[in-house]
């Protein structure tokens, strides 16, 4: 597809930047062959993850969030067609041999998987599983392993960690298991932690605690976090910047404040409008919804993939070329070709 982004736009000198990019993703495309043709799961995605920031990746189910992170970590199946570039601290990691990636995966870039609650092995004690994660990348004796495991359980806020080390996963609550998974992921103080829907299966109070843990980790270990979620409410509290994906493409990228107060892309605006807000209670009692369904990733509509659902779509304009993500305002990117026009309209009304 021809949706290339002007990558010079991501130079880390812009506002909110000044921070070196430790991960540079450029023109990332992932296609999966299917009976009907290629399924374009990720289509020309480019972004920087800056040092010590939390970047939220948001989009509805099937928008390509997990595939993006799996591509970064080289975890996609062989039949996936992957192109583009992913640089970690300036070094290309896309397409490098598994053997060479092992040193980076886990140690430098760690991931908490979407199905974390089932990722713990039920037959081993949690303490042993954490110790195992520590020992994969560094040599230490039993005493050091135990101390490090304790320290990690404390860091993720598990109460009474000495006793908890001896327990099995089924003795942990859902939130505690999720925290144990985070403890394992950060065992080697990775530079980047990718957390894929780390709070989805949890109730609201526990969600908040897990998000607190992520924030604490970022502050204590100076790592960067990529937080993947379909829930804009989750990124509002913890992310510095947000990338919004739709049908495998990026449609908006901005600081969290810019996105929430001046969302530029109609899809992002639709997502924001469907967030429950205390100050709007009593309005109509009804949340705004984005009408229609996301498109098939095999048969994408021509032009902007959102145009069939977009309240601002103009026939003959939005259904022509795939729009490029571009900097509409400082450090605020949108792929909507009508972005400026819609901003002007918005400020008139």
Ligand X SMILES: Nc1ncnc2c1ncn2[C@@H]1O[C@H](COP(=O)(O)OP(=O)(O)OP(=O)(O)O)[C@@H](O)[C@H]1O
Interface residue list for Mg ion (CB under 5 A): 66
Number of residues that bind ligand X (CB under 6 A): 15
**Per-residue b/e over 10-43, b at no fewer than 16 CB within 10 Å?**
beeeeebbebebbbbbbbbbbbbeeeeeebbbbb
- Interactions with ligand X, residue window 256-315 (CB under 6 A): 297
Q: Which is nearer to ligand X, 58 or 155 (CB)?
A: 58
Q: Rounded to the nearest whole angstrom, what is the least distance from the CB of residue 63 to Mg ion in the complex?
A: 9
Query: Which among Mg ion, ligand X, none contacts residue 41 (Cβ within 5 to 8 A by kind)?
Result: ligand X
Contacts of 77 (CB under 8 A, 6+ apart): none
Q: What does 63 interact with, of ligand X, Mg ion, none (CB < 5 to 8 A by kind)?
A: ligand X
The half-sphere exposure of 142 on its side-chain side, counting CA atoms within 13 A, is 0
Host H or E run for residue 71: helix 65-72
Per-residue mark of binding to ligand X, 89-128 (x: CB under 6 A):
-------------------------x--------------
Its sign, for the CA torsion 319, 321, 322, 327, is negative
* Residue 21 interaction partner, one of Mg ion, ligand X, none, beta carbon < 5-8 Å per kind: none
Query: Closest-CB residue for Mg ion?
Result: 66
Which of ligand X, Mg ion, none does residue 39 bind (CB under 5 to 8 Å by kind)?
ligand X
- Strand ordering across the sheet containing 81-88: 37-50, 21-34, 81-88, 91-92
What is the nearest approach in angstroms of ligand X to the Cβ of residue 39? 6
- Which 23-82 residues touch ligand X, going by CB under 6 A? 32, 39, 41, 59, 61-67, 77
Mask of contacts with ligand X, 232-251, x by CB under 6 A? --------------------
Q: Residue 125 or 230: which CB sits closer to ligand X?
A: 230
- Whichever of 112 and 165 has its CB closer to ligand X, that residue is 112
- The candidate with the shortest Cα–Cα distance to 149, out of 133, 137, 171, is 133
Task: Answer yes or no: are the C-beta atoms of 59 and 244 closer than 8 Å.
Answer: yes
Q: Which is closer to ligand X, CB of 29 or CB of 145?
A: 29
CB proximity list for 63: less than 8 A, separation 6 or greater: 245, 246, 247, 248, 294
Is there a contact between 120 and 169 (Cβ–Cβ < 8 Å)?
Answer: yes
Q: In terms of CB distance, is 63 or 255 closer to Mg ion?
A: 63
Find the shortest distance in angstroms from Cβ 169 to ligand X.
23
Q: Is 194 exposed, middle or buried (0-12, 13-18, 19+ CB in 10 A)?
A: buried
Nearest distance from residue 340's CB to ligand X, in Å? 29
DSSP string, 185-222: HTTT--SEEEEESTTTTS-HHHHHHHHHHHHHHHHHH-
Classify 9 as helix, strand or coil.
helix
Give the nearest distance from C-beta 149 to Mg ion in angstroms. Answer: 29
CB of 230 to Mg ion, least distance (A): 8
Contact (CB, 8 A) for 268 and 347: no
- Taking the complex as a whole, the smallest distance from the CB of residue 210 to ligand X amounts, in Å, to 17
Least separation, in Å, of the C-beta of 196 and Mg ion?
A: 6
Footprint on residues 163-222 left by ligand X (CB under 6 A): none
**For ligand X, which is the closer residue by CB, 42 or 145?**
42
Which of residues 41 and 264 has its CB atom nearest to ligand X in the complex? 41
Residue 192 touches which of ligand X, Mg ion, none (CB < 5 to 8 A by kind)? Answer: none
Question: Which listed option, ligand X, Mg ion, none, makes contact with residue 122 (CB within 5 to 8 Å by class)?
Answer: none
Q: Residues 219, 252: contact at Cβ < 8 Å?
A: no
CA distance 224 to 207: 20
Q: How many CA atoms lie within 13 A of 332 on its CB side?
A: 19
Question: Which stretches of the chain bind ligand X, using CB under 6 A?
Answer: 32, 39, 41, 59, 61-67, 77, 114, 230, 297
């Amino acid at each position: 597809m021809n949706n290339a982004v002007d990558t010079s736009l991501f130079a880390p000198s812009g506002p909110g930047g000044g921070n070196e990019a430790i991960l540079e993703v450029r023109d990332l495309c992932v296609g999966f062959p299917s009976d009907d043709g290629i399924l374009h799961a990720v289509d020309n995605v480019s972004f920087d993850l800056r040092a010590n920031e939390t970047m939220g990746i948001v989009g509805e189910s099937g928008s390509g969030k997990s595939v993006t992170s799996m591509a970064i970590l080289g975890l996609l199946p062989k039949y996936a067609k992957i192109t583009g570039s992913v640089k970690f601290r300036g070094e290309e990691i896309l397409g490098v041999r598994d053997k060479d990636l092992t040193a980076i995966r886990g140690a430098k870039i760690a991931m908490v998987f979407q199905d974390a609650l089932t990722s713990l092995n039920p037959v081993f004690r949690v303490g042993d599983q954490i110790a195992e994660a520590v020992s994969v990348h560094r040599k230490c004796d039993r005493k050091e392993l135990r101390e490090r495991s304790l320290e990690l359980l404390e860091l993720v806020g598990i109460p009474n960690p000495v006793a908890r080390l001896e327990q099995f996963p089924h003795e942990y609550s859902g939130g505690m298991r999720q925290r144990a998974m985070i403890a394992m992921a950060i065992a080697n103080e990775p530079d980047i932690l990718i957390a894929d829907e780390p709070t989805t299966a949890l109730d609201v109070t526990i969600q908040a605690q897990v998000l607190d843990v992520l924030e604490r980790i970022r502050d204590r270990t100076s790592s960067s976090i990529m937080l993947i979620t379909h829930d804009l409410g989750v990124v509002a509290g913890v992310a510095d910047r947000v990338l919004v994906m739709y049908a495998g493409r990026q449609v908006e990228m901005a600081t969290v404040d810019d996105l929430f107060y001046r969302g530029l892309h109609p899809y992002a605006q639709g997502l924001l409008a469907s967030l429950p807000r205390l100050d709007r209670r009593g309005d109509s009692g009804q949340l705004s919804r984005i009408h229609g369904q996301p498109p098939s990733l095999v048969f994408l509509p021509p032009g902007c993939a959102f145009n069939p659902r977009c309240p601002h779509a103009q026939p003959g304009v939005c259904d022509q070329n795939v729009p490029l993500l571009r900097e509409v305002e400082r450090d605020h990117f949108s792929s909507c070709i009508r972005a400026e026009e819609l901003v002007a309209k918005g400020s008139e009304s």
